[in-house]
Amino acid sequence: MITTEFLCQLFPKAVPIPPEQKLISPIHQMTWRVDGELRARSGQTKTVLSPVCVRQADGTLRQLEIGSCPVMGGAEGDEALGGVEHKSKFINTRFIF
């Protein structure tokens, strides 16, 4: 039988997470790669949440924020893929791109 105690054990409190497994601070990625170079991105970002939930003092569950990444659209995707297409011409033709 599943009990409340059992469910509480599945979701730890944030405090007992070992320091070597805990993020010091969220990682905010503000670059993306095009044609082998990193480019800065200053537009809109999306928060990235951990798939792991931790129990709060009041017993509620909350996903921890682990960082953010740029929100990009089709133009940025096309630009990034254009760099891959360009590079693939110089790689052994046995590989399919």
pLDDT in tens, 23-43: 888 999 888 888 778 888 888
Quick check: 55 pLDDT over 90? no
Q: What is the mean pLDDT of residues 40-68?
A: 87
83 or 44: whose pLDDT is higher?
A: 44
- Which amino acid does the sequence have at 13? K
Name the pTM for this structure.
0.61
Question: In 10 A of CB 64, how many CB atoms?
Answer: 15
Strands (E), 3-93: 27-28, 31-34, 37-40, 45-55, 61-70
